[in-house]
Structure 1
Amino acid sequence: MTADTIADPRTPLAPRRKGLNLEKWGWLFMRGSGVLLVVLIFGHLIVNLVLGEGVRQIDFAFVVGKYATPFWQWWDVIMLWLALIHGTNGMRTIVNDYVTHNGTRRVLIWALWIVAALLILLGTLVVFTFDPCLGVTPDSSLWQMCQG
């Protein structure tokens, strides 16, 4: 067969590589996390913006009340983790599609995952160590609540 002809459709494919297929698992993760993110985000929006007094209810006390329960802490952490990993995997795909130099592609992908890991770490730390009484002084409106 010459270079200017197309292979017969029934020509056997090249042998498949053995081992873990990361691209397949990345593709599956994007579909699953996308569906789960839609549920998590709409649940978040309904609770925060539709139920109760709407956007007027969102203040520091509202956040304190939500983060006082492990359910909402885990809801937000799962949403944070999935959104960051989903977005980073999407950016990785774009870098793979458009960056042709192998060294540059490798550096950009490492930078993406390092930044995502840092944001996941910091976000998780904020959610689970959130303390509304940290730095409260006697002239603050939270002083009474934090004394009990």
Structure 2
Amino acid sequence: MASTEFVAPRTGRIEPQYNRMRNRGGTFEMSAWLFMRLSGVILVVLIFGHLITNLLVGGGINDVDFGFVAGKWADPFWQFWDLAMLWLAMLHGTNGLRTIINDYAEKTRTRMWLKTVLYICTAVIIILGTLVIFTFDPCIPGSTLEVCN
């Protein structure tokens, strides 16, 4: 006859190969979880503000060109708006991919390499994006834009 005993859930021991968090405290993961929620809310505001000002105000999508970006980035407010959107989107996405890598990469070495590549790519994109935003110069030699004369 079969036993009718049931083990209460989550009372069993976690097998060592599945317990990746045994050496870390929960502080970092809790901070990362909280960052995802807060950055997601802020990103919604930043992205909708970006879409409304670029696509709905003025001439709409037909007015978005090099001159439009040059005029927008001449104002420090829009530089910092786009910078905040870039940084938050990149860090939000990186944190999400880090979580996916931790969940699906079984080998420690594989996880380490995947996260290393992820962090390097993130750093390069953030650095290049920041440089573009703050060093953007609409005055190309030979330009006929009014702001260059």
2:40 matched to 1:34? Answer: yes
Alignment of 1:1-148 (within 5 A): 6=7, 21-134=27-140, 136-137=141-142, 140-142=143-145, 145-147=147-149
1:50 Cα deviation from its structure 2 partner: 0.7
Distance change >3 Å, CA 60–CA 9, structure 1 → 2: closer
Q: What amino acid is aligned across from residue 144 of structure 2 in structure 1? A: S
Give SS of 2:138's match.
Answer: coil
Please give the alpha-carbon distance, in whole angstroms, between the structure 1 residues aligned to 2:82 and 2:94. 18
Instruction: Give the number of equivalent residue pairs.
Output: 136
- For structure 2, the 5+ residue unaligned runs are 13-21
Compute the TM-score of the two structures, normalised by the length of structure 1: 0.83
Unaligned runs of 5+ in 1: none
Instruction: Please state how far the C-alpha of 1:114 moved relative to its aligned partner.
Output: 1.2
RMSD: 2.4
TM-score calculated relative to the size of structure 2 = 0.82
Moved over 6 A (4+): 8-11
Structure-2 change in CA distance of 1:60 and 1:39 (3 Å): same
Greater relative contact order: 1 or 2 (C-alpha under 8 angstroms, separation 6 or more)? 2
